[in-house]
Structure 1
Amino acid sequence: MTVRNRGALAAMAVGAAALTVAVLVACGSQPAEDVGAEQAADLASATPSPTAGGPSVPVTRGELPSGAETVPPTRLVIPAIDVTATVNAVGINQKTDEFEVPPSVDQIGWYRYGPGLEADTGSVVIAGHVDSATQGKGAFWRLRDLDQGDTLTATGSDGKERRYRVVAREEYQKTKIPLERYFARDGKPRLTLITCGGPFDAEARRYRDNIVVTAVPA
């Protein structure tokens, strides 16, 4: 899974232990049509967060929204697609400039340079592999099947369960995903789940697109 900086955005790589911030893990089947794109856009701030000339997706810890101590997600349950997965805090691999994700495809990663579950603004990003040539289907294998109204529960390090409702599911070519929207620290509170989709490029050994699911507190 890969999410790569535009200029300096972090990255996520498919099938490896990394996830690039513009190219995330995927599955080959095409999802249904996009739904809720306008709702997802409306959740973001009208103007991007100031980055002082830096990347839209921070690669080192910066100032988070003021308030309580950050609460990382530790478990994600999505009944509609039979997901119960451990969530690990992930950062940037300094050698590869990639956003690292757990090597086991049944686990997923929370972007720890963004907001935690306690934040009342911004996008909490969780991403993971869909499949692996050696491990088979990953936790987000069926992420593309989620639809508006589906619910999920994220449990934080504080033991509190927080329920969310899906409002949007979108597919982008990896070079066109609006990273500043999905990794924003401002705007309304939301949970952003990312994996890959679209056709598989056998030569590059990665999928062409990203699947992005947006959920709001229920």
Structure 2
Amino acid sequence: MTVRNRGALAALAAGVAALTVATLVACGSQPAEDVGADEAANLATATPTPSASAAGGQSVPVTAGELPAGAEIVPPVRLVIPAIDVTATVNAVGINKRTNEFEVPPSVDEIGWYRYGPGLETTAGSIVIAGHVDSAQQGKGAFFRLRELDQGDTLTATGGDGKARKYRVVAREEYAKTKIPLDRYFARDGKPRLTLITCGGPFDAKARKYRDNIVVTAVPA
């Protein structure tokens, strides 16, 4: 996952959850058609700002919207998704100062919470968790089967405060990486929701990355 700083903003370019490994294996079967796209869009209330061109990277409004003053940020530390047999450790991740890449954990068994956005305590905005789909060296990643999630599936995110919070899937969407509406998925405003992201679609062997991103949106159950 590549992120570039631009003033108070960070820009997500190219891949999500697959750019910290040298090569990747093919991504299995393709997901069914998108579900819940309108519902996911309605959770965001802000009007997206124009993104940069695909060549220059797309803007992620990680500072758009204000968290409650003095609120304690509760990081997710564990994610359980029974429908796809996922039990994964969640690490707080940011931007690698040397490479300007979003630092998804190098182990494909672990996933990363974007610590510049809201935590589990939030009453507004998108909590972003991203993970690898797979790796040529390590095999299937924690989010290998993310594309199989459907509306109504449930998941549990446990925070650093020890509290388990349940969520219900409302949408599963697939986007070309150059067309994903990042302002929506990284916003700090709108209704509280959990956004899970990994790679998907055809694998470009020459570019060593997947063409698309799979995005799953869940709301408090």
TM-score by length of 2: 0.85
Cα separation, 1, equivalents of 2:85 and 2:207: 30
Cα separation, 1, equivalents of 2:134 and 2:3: 20
Q: Which runs of 4+ in 1 moved over 2 A?
A: 2-8, 10-13, 25-29, 46-49, 55-58, 61-64
| Residue identity opposite 2:170 in structure 1 | V
Q: Which residue of 1 aligns with 2:42?
A: 42
> Do the aligned residues in 2 keep the contact of 1:64 with 1:114 (CA within 8 Å)?
no
> Do the aligned residues in 2 keep the contact of 1:14 with 1:206 (CA within 8 Å)?
yes
* Structure 1 range deviating more: 25-34 or 121-130: 25-34
Cα separation, 2, equivalents of 1:100 and 1:47: 28
Matches within 5 A, 1:126-137: 126-137=129-140
Cα separation, 1, equivalents of 2:82 and 2:17: 27
How many residues align? The count is 205
Cα separation, 1, equivalents of 2:5 and 2:42: 23
Q: Which residue of 1 aligns with 2:113?
A: 110
| Residue identity opposite 1:57 in structure 2 | P
Q: Identity of aligned pairs, percent?
A: 76
Aligned-residue RMSD, C-alpha: 2.5
Q: Secondary structure at the match of 1:166?
A: strand
* Structure 1 range deviating more: 39-48 or 191-200: 39-48
Cα separation, 1, equivalents of 2:159 and 2:11: 26
Unaligned runs of 5+ in 1: 19-24, 50-54
Unaligned runs of 5+ in 2: 50-58
> Do the aligned residues in 2 keep the contact of 1:14 with 1:205 (CA within 8 Å)?
no
* Structure 1 range deviating more: 185-194 or 94-103: 94-103
The answer to whether the aligner puts 1:14 opposite 2:21 as a matched pair is no
Deviation at 1:122, TM superposition (A): 0.1
Structure 2 vs 1, CA of residues 16 and 94 (structure 1 numbering), >3 Å: closer, same or farther?
same
Cα separation, 2, equivalents of 1:138 and 1:196: 11
> Do the aligned residues in 1 keep the contact of 2:12 with 2:60 (CA within 8 Å)?
no
> Do the aligned residues in 2 keep the contact of 1:79 with 1:151 (CA within 8 Å)?
yes
Cα separation, 1, equivalents of 2:195 and 2:169: 10
Q: Secondary structure at the match of 2:158?
A: strand
TM-score by length of 1: 0.87
The answer to whether the aligner puts 1:213 opposite 2:212 as a matched pair is no
